[in-house]
Structure 1
């Protein structure tokens, strides 16, 4: 097709430009996309094309859609600067930090009341993030044993939390 590229450009370039301009509302951008369309054709000289016009429109439509997607990703809605004063800070308030510390201390106390093996399993699973299978392998015990210990730990902690 590269030998007939000039003929194709003269025959279909203005029509493609008009098509893209209507959809974009920007003549310069439409011209750029027409050029990109023909560059794609040049980059793929081995492509056999039965209908040149349809092939060009397909490429142009894909370029248009890609451009619109990129624009949508770049677009940000403008917000008055005053609105940013209402956005909460990422850092917790001193009261929240103190409350979280007290809750963590309570949880540590409740876990400390459990048998040592149950504590170990609870920490590996719930704190360190190991799966039950990984805990079982690490401690050389069965998965059902891990499940029983976790159930006992959760029941104990839940009861202690309710009693307070």
Structure 2
């Protein structure tokens, strides 16, 4: 720590601590923020400072604001148990689950109407998540063949879904 910084610490440190303690109500936290203030000054030795006191207060105020923001993010407010009943569950309703099952069965039936090779390509790409080049390599086919089968499968499934 340079001599100028030591003088600034002894001159302005107690004043900053009182300022921060008054806003925080916590002596220890105020002392920590004063130390952090001077660490910021040390980390930026190239900064030209005209008014040391104003510069220190600006840093301290910014650290205080950052601390308050972090505290507000961490805070969890308790609520009455009755309010929790109004929170929607992550699970689908029985009606939605039944509807999804029916939709899935329909889709499986439509895919089952496709030729076996087209089914295989569609499942590898759309269900298993393989890319078209990966499907082509896995089945020893050209990429254009895979694209043609996928186009047919998508066209068929789309038409069947619209015909509903």
| TM, length-normalised to structure 2 | 0.73
Residue by residue over 1:22-65, the C-alpha shift from the partner in whole angstroms, topping out at 9 and shown as x without a partner, is 7xx22434333113334x379x6995675493774565355335
Helix, strand or coil at the partner of 2:124 = helix
Q: CA deviation at 1:140?
A: 2.8
Contact 1:49 1:55 in 2 (8 A): no
Equivalent residue number for residue 122 of structure 1:
122
How many Å separate the matches in 2 of 1:69 and 1:45?
Answer: 23
Please state if 1:149 is matched with 2:149. yes
Alignment of 1:1-164 (within 5 A): 1-17=1-17, 20=20, 25-28=23-26, 29-38=29-38, 40=39, 47=45, 51=49, 53=52, 56=56, 60=60, 63-164=63-164
Q: Which runs of 5+ in 2 are unaligned?
A: none
| TM, length-normalised to structure 1 | 0.73
Q: CA deviation at 1:15?
A: 4.3
Equivalenced residues, count: 160
Q: CA deviation at 1:13?
A: 1.4
How many Å separate the matches in 1 of 2:35 and 2:156?
Answer: 71
How many Å separate the matches in 1 of 2:43 and 2:104?
Answer: 67
Contact 1:37 1:60 in 2 (8 A): yes
